[in-house]
């Protein structure tokens, strides 16, 4: 079974898309375009990680369900902040509680969750690439190198995306053999 072509994107195109996304003006229309484009990228990231996950033999120590939950909740939290609160700024130079009230704790908790989701997302992808390169090609890519490259996203995509594309070009084995009721 072959991977859908829309999942295999050249690294230069992916980099350009992220540069365009981050350079859109912060007008109302720009924020809506960024939100829609971010949703498309989120779906693409989840689909790529699902394809990587399905290829790992045995019982991986990562969870695609947890990854999907974390990324979707983080997306909706950030979207809510962008669209409905016009952002927030919590710092030590002002009385944050007087300005935000009890919502300050929601903002802080949500921000911590987004950071944890980001870290789990880069761990998931780095672990998948690390295992699959060894499994398919007998090549051991350093897990720390992969984490560092993903951490400096989107610049790290120049090194990571070719690895993902190479893995995704390998035909997926029969799904009955691979999907052994993983969580």
- Rounded to an integer, what distance in angstroms lies between the CA atom of residue 104 and that of residue 153? 28
Query: pLDDT by residue (tens digit) across 95-127?
Result: 666 666 777 788 788 889 999 999 999 999 999
Burial of 172 from C-beta contacts in 10 A (0-12 / 13-18 / 19+): middle
Q: Note the pLDDT of residue 2.
A: 64
Phi, psi values for residue 114, rounded to 5°: -65, -45
Q: Note the pLDDT of residue 181.
A: 44
Share of the chain above pLDDT 70, in %: 84
Measure the CA dihedral 47/36/126/16, to 10°.
110
Structure tokens at 99: 């300005």
Dihedral sign of CA atoms 116, 90, 107, 80 in order: negative
Burial of 80 from C-beta contacts in 10 A (0-12 / 13-18 / 19+): exposed
Query: pLDDT by residue (tens digit) across 53-75?
Result: 999 988 888 999 999 999 999 99
Long-range contacts, 74-78 (Cβ 8 Å, 24+): 74/113, 74/114, 74/117, 74/118, 75/38, 75/39, 75/42, 77/110, 77/113, 77/114, 78/38, 78/114
**Computed over its alpha carbons, how large is the radius of gyration of the chain?**
19
Q: Note the pLDDT of residue 59.
A: 80
Q: Is the peptide bond before 3 cis (omega within 30 degrees of 0)?
A: no
Q: Note the pLDDT of residue 46.
A: 93
Helices (H), 139-181: 143-151, 157-169, 175-178
Query: pLDDT by residue (tens digit) across 79-97?
Result: 887 777 766 666 566 666 6
pLDDT at 134 over 70: yes
Crossing angle, helix 28-55 and helix 64-80, to 10 degrees? 180
Q: Note the pLDDT of residue 179.
A: 43
Mean pLDDT across the chain: 81
How confident is the model over 140-154, as a mean pLDDT?
Answer: 87
How confident is the model over 36-63, as a mean pLDDT?
Answer: 89
Helices (H), the chain: 11-23, 28-55, 64-80, 96-100, 103-137, 143-151, 157-169, 175-178
């Amino acid at each position: 079974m072959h991977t859908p072509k829309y999942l295999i994107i050249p690294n230069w195109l992916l980099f350009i898309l992220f540069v365009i996304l981050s350079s859109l003006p912060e007008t109302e229309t720009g924020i809506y375009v960024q939100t829609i484009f971010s949703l498309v990228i989120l779906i693409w990231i989840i689909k790529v990680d699902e394809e990587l996950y399905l290829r790992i033999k045995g019982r991986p120590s990562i969870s695609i369900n947890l990854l999907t939950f974390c990324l979707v909740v983080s997306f909706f939290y950030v979207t809510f902040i962008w669209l409905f609160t016009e952002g927030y700024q919590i710092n030590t130079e002002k009385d944050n509680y007087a300005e935000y009230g009890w919502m300050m704790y929601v903002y802080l908790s949500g921000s911590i969750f987004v950071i944890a989701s980001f870290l789990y997302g880069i761990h998931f992808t780095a672990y998948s690439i690390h295992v699959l390169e060894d499994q398919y090609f007998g090549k051991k890519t350093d897990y720390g190198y992969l984490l560092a490259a993903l951490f400096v996203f989107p610049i790290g995509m120049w090194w990571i995306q070719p690895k993902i594309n190479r893995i995704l070009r390998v035909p997926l084995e029969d799904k009955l053999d691979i999907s052994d009721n993983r969580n």
